Structure 1
């Protein structure tokens, strides 16, 4: 709930994609991760974390992959470095270690080699869905979460399905609530047609269709560190994988040469990123676009990717960036999104039917639902 509450606040968190490697073979993997996928030196990520200070740091440091726990020493170090300056850490894992033992659900224990990393992070989140269950049994996932809950660790689940009417999601969410007595929050989202899923998802599954209206882009609020150390204001996997040429207005730097203060400053003050956060790319294209062929695209993200191709858009945005009225609009937009609360984000980027499940375990939030 705290993480989602901060989602619209620029530079209040940073994502670390610390490895693309993963021993699982989930058919919907958005990063197309494999055990021999590319991996960059740990020191690059560790050094960047050391540039956080008590006076200039993100509130949250989120680590994922691939499978982040393939680099447990790095996870522990980043978590420890973050805690030392007052930031809190979060890790998302596919629980690959629970797939090795068919009896893990009843006899398994979290491997000793991973314990320091898991103990170091402030929040532990696990992925679970139909495709993960082909690799890691549901009971094994429950076993891990129960072990951590009994030790007082904050845990959650990130679930995916094909839409609000997916019977798998209905059964799974109900079982999680029974199993853990509503102590484990769940963020439920539709399967994304990226990575390995883009070869079959749009052909075999009818995804829910939504009307995309001009709207602020909260996803551009937090810098995202890719597997290669490149930092962007966009976490869309097609951008991260290079399937879409990186739009220059979304590039924030590289952790090999830029520290947190530089990345934060660019995230906060890049005129195009500010404008996208405040009004959304479609509004910018409609208001400032020249209408030239090749400068238009269908879809919210697709429009953002081509904004820089139309010189009229960044030119107009730069000209307006320092106006007091523009700054006031940006500030008020952020305030309104924060006031709207975590459920707004869960509904916007997840499956609305299940949005309230993010409040589980938070009695103060649940009383307001």
Structure 2
């Protein structure tokens, strides 16, 4: 399972589900978008396992992403979820901050959890490196790579031209023989980074009258309290924790909703279909509402009942429905390349293809 397989499915609605195994983390990175600590909340294991148990061979996501906090603080739970997911024919991806690498050894429960998932991703950045040296992380990854594990690195810098990114990518490529894909991102003003990082735009400015499809509203996200959101934007996840999630972005709660109900709401909710096809800012403009930002249009403008009703009426028009279907098909056909062009970091996008065999899926 290569990183490009996952990115190719990013715009496919319900192709994957993101599970926040815990919000707890032993690291204290200054840029942490979730502001995680060892005192943070986490979902009851029984509730999370009960939700995963609703996946079946006939109806389940193709991929299940395990994240946190630090999901490997609950290695037994990770292993159980991964085994259940494999039983129904799906695959798992886990992202770790690699806290255990600093000690020079991988604890047995953690290793069993890593062995159980289909793809293991390590998060590397200057903030993590103050607590877990890059060399220690690369030693663990090298061992896993030599054993045949599918891997990737999520590398984060302050800006696209951060000199750290150039040095780190050179090191990772050299130590791992250009066999491990690298997804390069930049720090966003969320969580602990919000007080010190100036607000930045998410790529090029998008004019409200131009459709700009949103791929981030394609996969449901099980938030820290069990609420299921339709978007992985950290502000949306935070709003869920505070009970302030706009109605169109709230898909349910895993304490009483299974995968079938969550998937149906994600696929059939008119406003979400419109957001995926046209983008929230363009959709809000079609409904006669103005908004300063792309994501802000989804949370604020479309979160207002009157605007949501008007947007729904626009989306019911036969001509608009036809355009919606065409735009959705184009975005899905664009696969990983289109996702990286929109959300990847300039100058580093091609690194996501490292280790990908020609002709592979």
Mark yes or no: TM-score above 0.5. yes
Q: Distance in 2 between matches of 1:50 and 1:191?
A: 35
Matching of residues 257-336 of structure 1 within 5 Å: 257-289=256-288, 291=289, 296-321=290-315, 324-336=318-330
TM-fit CA distance, 1:340: 1.9
User: Structure 2 unaligned runs (5+)?
Assistant: none
Alignment CA distance shift 1:309-1:21 (3 Å):
closer
Q: Check the 8 A contact 1:343/1:356 in 2, yes or no.
A: no
Higher mean alpha-carbon deviation, 275-284 vs 357-366, is at 357-366
Deviations 1:185-216 (A, max 9, x none): 0110111110000011118xx88863134401
> What TM-score, normalized by structure 1, do the two folds share?
0.91
> After the TM superposition, which parts of structure 1 deviate over 6 Å for at least 4 consecutive aligned residues?
206-209
Could you tell me whether the CA contact under 8 Å between 1:346 and 1:352 is conserved in 2? no
* 1:339 aligns with one of 318, 326, 333: 333
Alpha-carbon distance change, 250 to 8 in structure 1, aligned in 2, over 3 angstroms: same
Look up the match of 1:66.
Answer: 69
5+ unaligned residues in a row in structure 1: which ranges?
A: none
Q: CA-to-partner distance for each residue in 1:151-191, whole Å, 9 max, x for gaps?
A: 11100000111222111001111111111111010110111
* Larger deviation, residues 150-159 vs 239-248: 239-248
- Mean alpha-carbon deviation: is it higher for 66-75 or for 309-318? 309-318
Task: From the superposition, tell whether residues 209 and 232 of structure 1 become closer, same or farther in structure 2 (CA, over 3 Å).
Answer: closer
CA contact (8 A) 1:288 1:312 kept: no
Q: Which residue of 2 aligns with 1:226?
A: 223
For 1:79, the equivalent position in structure 2 comes to 82
The answer as to 2:156 corresponding to 1:153 is no
Structure 1 distance, partners of 2:156, 2:215, is 20
* Pairwise CA RMSD: 1.9
| Residue pair 1:128, 1:159 contacting (<8 A) in 2 also | yes
Distance 1:60 1:326 in 2: 31
Structure 1 residues 46 and 166, CA gap change in structure 2 (3 angstroms): same
- C-alpha distance in 2, partners of 1:228/1:82? 21
Would the alpha carbon gap of residues 244 and 173 (structure 1) be closer, same or farther in structure 2, given more than 3 Å must change?
Answer: farther
Q: Give the stretch that moved more between structures: 41-50 or 243-252.
A: 243-252
Distance 1:326 1:52, change over 3 A: farther
Q: Partners in 1 of 2:302 and 2:172 — Cα distance?
A: 45
User: Offset at 1:148?
Assistant: 0.7
Name 1:31's counterpart in structure 2. Answer: 34
The size of the alignment, in residue pairs, is 352
- Whole-angstrom distance in 2 between the partners of 1:298 and 1:207: 11
- CA displacement, residues 117-137 of structure 1 (integer Å, 9 cap, x when unaligned): 111100000000010100110
